[in-house]
Amino acid sequence: MLVVHGVWTEDGLAFWAEDVEGGGPAARAGRGPRPHPFAAPAAAVAAALGLDEPAERTLELLLPGSAAEPSPSPETGRLAEATRPRLRPWRVPAVVPPAATALRLLAGRPETATLRHWAAVADLARDLVRRGRVLPQLALEPGGARAVWRPVVNGADGGYFRELALAMPPACRTAAAERPSAGVLRAALETFADALVRQALTEPLVTRPATPRDRWLAALTGPDPSCPDVPELRAELAAWHDAAAAAEGAARVCFRLMEPAADPLGDGADAWRVELALQAADDPSLYVPAAALWAGERAPGLPPAPERELLTGLGRAVRLYPELERALRVPQPAELALDTAGAFGFLRQAAPLLQAAGFGVQLPRWAGRARLGLKLTTRTKTQTAAVSQGFGMRELVDFRVDLAVGDETISEEELAELARLKVPLVRVRGQWVELDDRQLKAALRAVEGARAGEAAAGEILELVARHDGELPLLEVDADGALGDLLSGQAERRLRPIATPPGLDAVLRPYQERGLAWLSFLSELGLGGVLADDMGLGKTVTTLALLVHEGREREGPPTLLVCPMSLIGNWQREAARFAPGLRVYVHHGAARDAALVGDADLVITTYGTAHRDLETLQRHEWRRVVCDEAQAIKNSGTLQARAVRAIPAATRLALTGTPVENHLAELWSIMEFANPGLLGPRSRFRTRFQEPIEARQDEEAAHALRRATGPFILRRLKTDRSIITDLPEKMEVKEWCPLTTEQASLYQAVVDDMLAKIDDSEGIERRGLVLATMAKLKQVCNHPAHLLKDGSRLAGRSGKLARLEQLGEEILAEGEKALVFTQYAEFGGLLQPYLERRLERPVLLLHGGLPKKTRDRLVDRFQNDPEPMLFVLSLKAAGVGLNLTAANHVVHVDRWWNPAVEDQATDRAFRIGQRKNVQVRKLICAGTLEERVDEMIERKKALAERVVGTGEEWLTDLSTSELREVFSLTGGAAEAS
């Protein structure tokens, strides 16, 4: 397992990683910086991030620790050896991708404190670019002059910038320790903003730059920002930036493209025009044309001298749009007349540039839409039933490719006329279409190529999935089994398959449709991704498929690969729902590959699949199933490569989260299910991932949905059209007082921390704050949890008292409850105490228990009719268990990532639950638990990125701010 971190360097954002399972103490080698003993190789970091050929670096980082080794980061789960760590230099391998790639990597849900912080910085950069709060600049640097885009940060943005600087974890700048956090943050924000604008400006602004100013303008787009230095231009642009940063900007110049009233084809008339106007920056609906301003019209919200504001803005805009100079030759400019080529240039080049620089731009509704494209029509030679009877991917089908504009196809004659006119903006069947030379040539090639004929169904499928031509694929019209598949609605169009004989369960309607979909794909020889929401019964649907298919005794079995914690669950579910299946578990020291041939279902783990790959490759498999398929989301990992290397007729991935962080994970899962369908990873990245993640490209997103939709089935349990009988979930925050002893201990911990905090700095200070957080949470649980002195529990904790009351009420109703705590040791205190006090069974499950014990506890809780409580460690039992016997869930101590708590709650709130589920979260009133809860609500945008799964963001607060967060407020204790 790799824990990836981000650190800012002179070259940009660098990624390095700790290998939780590997490494070891570094050997002493001189007095200089030594290699970090747990740092992963750069190639492993690149593979974990899904990078092909990133720039590799060796960084020197200042990290806390002992002379023997640096302290591990909190995310590794390892304990630090040093009691008083000191900062020392360590060498780590790292990768430094381009800024655009770094932005893509940060677009998901980063798991470490540093990456969460950089993701928040990237979000701020995206917001500034979206609102046009960036300006073009000419920067003079040691390497020469560069055209750059710099953000304008003022007002509320400036306040948020300061919050981000205060919240920056020290580990974000360990490679630039001499620079303050605000300086590092500004450098990162400028780099991200510049990359985002360049991603948006895809068209060159100047094709043949002649003057130094033209070369600066051309360098504002594309990968190379270098250009000659023009001192007077540099000074003018810097003054523009300073003026924008000093003012809030009550109004801005706006450009509105007005299309001709009639079709101008053939007459070459200058019928297009750009209307100039002044627009309120905070209210775009307040729009006053320049002609009205010159006529004396005024509007509330505009500056007192709007004409001067208009002329000043136009003077700046002409730097970016030189064509505007024609409109400024008159004393009172109001509009700019354009021919058709000029209007096309405004659409493709000037409008994005002006918008990026903060000017208002209004375009016709049709602008930017991909109108000209291809329509694919296929017809099967022999009509087949919905569930194919012999129809396969080698079946020949008739196909035809037509050119289309919107919903209308256009003939070769119409295309020839468009090519003759050589006009980039044309009206076709009443619709305006942008048609540049590239698209026109692509359309002519499409007409000249094979537009009709016969092809195998599999070739048509690949054409749809991998089409990346210059003309988009607008529509697919197919019939028969291929039409059912390509529709992406096969689950709805197929006839549901009723519960097959031999399955000891009654399938729900959506499961019957899912079974029909799985069987349909299997008969076509295709793989799929069953991505139903957690708790909708992916396990029983898969078992139903195996029972429905049946098999001859000599036929190949199905191989199921799952996390080790789910082996017992699959064994139990198979024995319960499909007792006729012969199941063999290929795991552990006693595993014997000779038993594979006598089984219908072989269950193994991801680790065993990697270790026994050669053995598994020698067997014939009807199907390979990956459960919790997010385990193979990183395509370069050993276990992902292993399961892809096992040959099988078809593959099936089971996951409730097909995309957790970024789209490369979807490619990895789809590459397992249908190898090669989406092409190589590099092509997937350029065709889908980068346009969607970096530019929110709707055309690319639509193409990806069309390519993957036939192979992914996703239903949500919150959708009442899917499931109507899942009970309600009710969540309540329970506010618990502190006892006098708790309040006294709490205050003592705070005073001790504040006494030490002023004498510490950097990593040592951060460690003190995190240690204090843990101690205060333990105090809130119970004094004995903090003191670890084995003392009595009764009467000393407000939380424990409330938990006892809840336990009594739940058991009196004859019901069961799950009690989650993030501390296994506290669970060990609760279990015997509650069992004695409540005189009912109280079970305990934590990560240290062997598999057989875990299985026995789960089986007893699910099947024993006696009311009882089940105390569980959050990390050990938060996923993979079915505990629907409980209809109460109590979170004793809060885990600040809601997704982790929700996963734990879903142990009870899932299919099979017949009662309403009541979820209670215990919070000590007036303590840091309440204070951090308030901060999360108040600063949710920052908390989601920076707080994440822990409280690391608190470590950089000032001493006075920490005092406010940790201090007790009125009513915190029963008597203090």
User: What span, in angstroms and rounded, lies between the C-alpha atoms of 602 and 584?
Assistant: 5
- Confidence (pLDDT) at 559: 96
pLDDT for the residue numbered 525: 83
Q: Is residue 335 part of a domain?
A: yes
| Residue indicated by tokens 């008292």 | 801
Percent of the chain with pLDDT over 70: 78
Tell me what pLDDT residue 642 has: 92
Q: Is the pLDDT of residue 944 over 60?
A: no
Q: Does one domain contain both 458 and 540?
A: no
More confident residue, 966 or 577: 577
Q: What is the pLDDT of residue 721?
A: 66
- Residue 643 near residue 561 (C-beta atoms within 8 A): yes
Look-up of token digits 């193979």 = 632
| Same domain (yes/no): 611, 652 | yes
Asked if residue 354 and residue 377 are part of one domain, the reply reads no
Whichever domain contains 679, its CATH number is: 3.40.50.10810
pLDDT of residue 879: 62
CA-only gyration radius of the chain, Å: 32
CATH number at residue 741: 3.40.50.300
CA distance 180 to 183: 5
545-554 confidence digits (pLDDT tens) = 999 988 544 5
Q: What is residue 267's predicted lDDT score, i.e. its pLDDT?
A: 45
pLDDT level of residue 141 (50, 70, 90 thresholds): confident
Question: Are 409 and 378 in a shared domain?
Answer: yes
Mean pLDDT of the chain: 80
Q: Kindly state whether residues 348 and 384 are assigned to the same domain.
A: no
Domain assignment present for 318: yes
pLDDT at 265: 46
How confident is the model at residue 22, as a pLDDT? 59
Residue 333 sits in the same domain as residue 453: no
The yes-or-no verdict on residue 976 having pLDDT over 60 is no
Please give the average per-residue pLDDT across 892-902, as a whole number.
72
Burial class, 281, CB count within 10 angstroms (exposed 0-12 / middle 13-18 / buried 19+): middle
**Is 232 inside a domain boundary?**
no
* Span 97-139, pLDDT tens digits: 999 889 988 876 567 888 888 988 998 999 898 888 899 999 9
Question: Does one domain contain both 431 and 301?
Answer: no
Quick one: 836 exposed, middle or buried, by C-beta within 10 A (0-12, 13-18, 19+)?
exposed
Per-residue model confidence as pLDDT tens digits over 237-266: 998 888 877 665 567 889 999 888 765 444
**Count of CB atoms situated within 10 Å of the CB of 727:** 12
Average pLDDT, integer, range 298-315: 81
The verdict on 476 and 500 lying in the same domain is no
pLDDT higher than threshold 90 for residue 769: no
With the C-alpha atoms ordered 316, 322, 327, 328, is the resulting torsion angle positive or negative?
positive
d(C-alpha 680, C-alpha 677), whole Å: 9
- Answer whether residue 562 is part of any domain: yes
Note whether residue 724 is domain-resident: no
Same structural domain, 520 and 647: yes
Give CA angle at 681 (678, 684), nearest 5°: 55
Last residue of one domain, picked from the residues 451, 486, 521: 486
pLDDT digits (tens, 9 = 90+) for 346-377: 888 888 888 888 888 888 877 766 567 777 77
Whether 646 maps to a domain, the answer reads yes
- Of 569, 459, 582, 585, the C-alpha closest to 882 is 569
| Single residue among 713, 740, 757 that ends a domain in this structure | 713
Residue 931 clears pLDDT 80, i.e. is over it: no
Bridge partner list, 869: 817, 842
Give the phi and the psi of residue 890 in degrees, each rounded to 5. Answer: -120, 120
Query: With 50 as the cut, is the pLDDT of residue 883 above it?
Result: yes
> Do both 471 and 436 map to the same domain?
yes
Asked whether residue 693 falls in the same domain as residue 553, the answer is: yes
More confident residue, 279 or 374: 279
Q: Examine the fold and report which residue of 471, 486, 501 is the final residue of a domain before the chain moves on.
A: 486
- The CA–CA distances, whole Å, from 688 to 468, 665, 671 equal 10, 12, 15
pLDDT score at 450:
53
Q: What tens digit of pLDDT does each residue of 805-823 get? A: 889 889 988 999 999 998 8
Confidence class of residue 846 from pLDDT cuts 50, 70 and 90? Answer: confident
**Measured between alpha carbons, how far is 489 from 642 in angstroms, rounded to an integer?**
32
pLDDT tens, residue by residue, 470-508: 677 666 777 776 766 776 566 666 788 999 999 998 898
**SS (HEC) of 292-353:** HHHCCCCCCCCCCCHHHHHHHHHHHHHHHCHHHHHHHHCCCCCEEEECHHHHHHHHHHHHHH
The predicted structure's pLDDT at residue 387: 43
- pLDDT of 389 reads 44
Tokens of 414: 């119409």
Say if 125 falls within a structural domain.
Answer: no
Q: Domain limits at 391?
A: 372-486
Task: Report how far residue 668's alpha carbon sits from residue 689's, in angstroms, rounded to the nearest whole number.
Answer: 12
Is residue 585 in a domain? yes
Residue indicated by tokens 């100047």:
206
What letters, b where the CB count within 10 A reaches 16 and e where it falls short, cover 312-333? ebbebbebbbeebeebeeeeeb
CA dist 600 and 598 (Å) reads: 7
The CA-CA-CA angle for residues 414, 415, 421, to 5°, reads 90
User: Greater confidence, 705 or 779?
Assistant: 779
Q: Are residues 313 and 276 in contact, defined by beta-carbon separation less than 8 angstroms? A: no
Position 266 scores a pLDDT of: 43
What confidence tens digit (pLDDT) does each residue in 142-168 have?
A: 878 999 999 988 877 888 888 888 888
684's CB contacts (< 8 A; 6+ apart) are 663, 664, 667, 678
Residues 782-793: what's their mean pLDDT?
Answer: 89
**How many distinct structural domains can be found in the chain?**
5
Count CB neighbours of 168 within 10 A. 26
Angstrom distances, CA of residue 632 to CA of 660, 845, 903: 12, 27, 20
pLDDT band at 308 (very low <50, low <70, confident <90, very high): confident
Q: Is the pLDDT of residue 891 over 80?
A: yes
Q: What is the pLDDT of residue 840?
A: 92
Shared domain check, 482 and 503 = no
pLDDT band at 947 (very low <50, low <70, confident <90, very high): very low
Would the pTM count as exceeding 0.85?
no
Percentage of the chain lying above the pLDDT 90 cut: 23
Q: How far apart are CA 118 and CA 122, in angstroms?
A: 6
Residue pLDDT, tens place only, 59-73? 888 888 887 788 888
Which tokens in the block code for residue 909? 């709130």
Residue 652 has pLDDT above 60, yes or no: yes
List, for residues 425-468, the tens digit of each pLDDT value. 777 766 777 776 676 777 766 665 556 667 676 666 666 666 66
